[in-house]
Structure 1
Amino acid sequence: MASATHHEHKHHAPRSIGCMVITCSDTRTPETDASGQLIQKLLKEQGHSIAAYHLVKDEPAQITARITEGIANESVQAIIVNGGTGISRRDSTFEAVDAMLEKRLDGFGEVFRYLTYQEIGSPAIMSRATAGIIKGRVLFSTPGSENAVRLAMEKLILPELGHLVKELTK
């Protein structure tokens, strides 16, 4: 059962957050980026705004450049990255993101993998989904599949986004 304090914190959280969405993929185009489009759709449905959207190759320099750009943009309070969190040779998003984080929100990855395990079983251990804080912004990094994005957004990110941003302003 959630405490009254938890509900009180959420009640005072901002209702609209400026978000940057970054898709990391070697094969997608803006037209075929179903996961990036889904993130934007779900954010808008909850009253959040899309301050920027980028599709980049799964190359650390490109990923860090876009994140740095987001940090410099005052209208960006949250950055949501999708793709590149697996274990294949080309998956380098985790390393790029993890190196930039000042504080890690380990619970995000842990709970995401637990929820994923409930849906697909043992392949959940291959996900390197992560989240943390960088220069006063909250950053989430999810796998690139539509199912993974929907799970992360609906179960974890959207319910806590305003609360997290509020906590960062304290």
Structure 2
Amino acid sequence: MVKAMILTVSDTRNLETDKSGLYIEQALQEQDVTVVDRQVVIDDQVDIQTAFLQFEQREPDLIITNGGTGLAIRDVTIPAITPLLKASIPGFGEAFRELSFKEVGTRALASRVEAGFNFRNQLCYCLPGSTNACKTAMTELILPEYQHLLFERRK
């Protein structure tokens, strides 16, 4: 049984208004992934890292963040999470931007997304806060491939 945790980074959303986090949760559950927890934290580097590290301690297979990946000064998810990843998966960002380019044009260039394995070898994804972007990432990249990536890392 695969276990996942979802962390939404937002200054304006809460669990009730977090459409992207809810979408990710439902998409995972449809694939028989158990969502152990879903939380919302503000766009603050220390708060993001604290929540992420607390998630790690609970030993999920997947940790998915959404939000805080843009270029605004308050968007600090990528600088918060990148140092916590032991091995990155650069193809994820490349593929996501290519798919996004087809949907939103050159605005895709401003999309900072990340995937990799943390020091506990849990598969981690950092997605934008846009529900449409989360749908693209989940349906086109994450759901078709996460089991293979976990298998490869654990063999």
The bucket for the TM-score relative to the shorter chain is over 0.9
Residue identity matched to 2:135: R
Alignment counterpart, residue 130 of structure 2, candidates 142, 145, 156: 145
Instruction: Report Cα offsets for 1:53-82 as digits up to 9, x if no partner.
Output: 1100011111111111121113x0110000
Cα separation, 2, equivalents of 1:168 and 1:73: 19
Gaps of 5+ in 1: 1-15
Alignment counterpart, residue 69 of structure 1, candidates 40, 54, 60: 54
Instruction: Report Cα offsets for 1:126-146 as digits up to 9, x if no partner.
Output: 000111110210100010001
Residue identity matched to 1:67: F
Q: Which residue matches 2:145?
A: 160
Whether 1:87 and 2:71 are equivalent positions in the alignment is yes
Cα separation, 2, equivalents of 1:137 and 1:70: 10
Whether 1:126 and 2:91 are equivalent positions in the alignment is no
Report 1:1-170 matches (<5 A): 16-74=1-59, 76-134=60-118, 135-170=120-155
Query: RMSD of the TM alignment (CA)?
Result: 0.8
Cα distance, 1:119 vs structure 2: 0.7
Rg bigger for which structure? Answer: 1
Aligned length: 154
Instruction: Flag as ranges the 4+ runs of structure 1 deviating above 6 A.
Output: none
Cα separation, 1, equivalents of 2:151 and 2:58: 18
SS at match of 1:121: helix
SS at match of 2:22: helix
After TM superposition, the score normalised by the length of structure 2 is 0.97
Q: Which residue matches 1:11?
A: none
Gaps of 5+ in 2: none
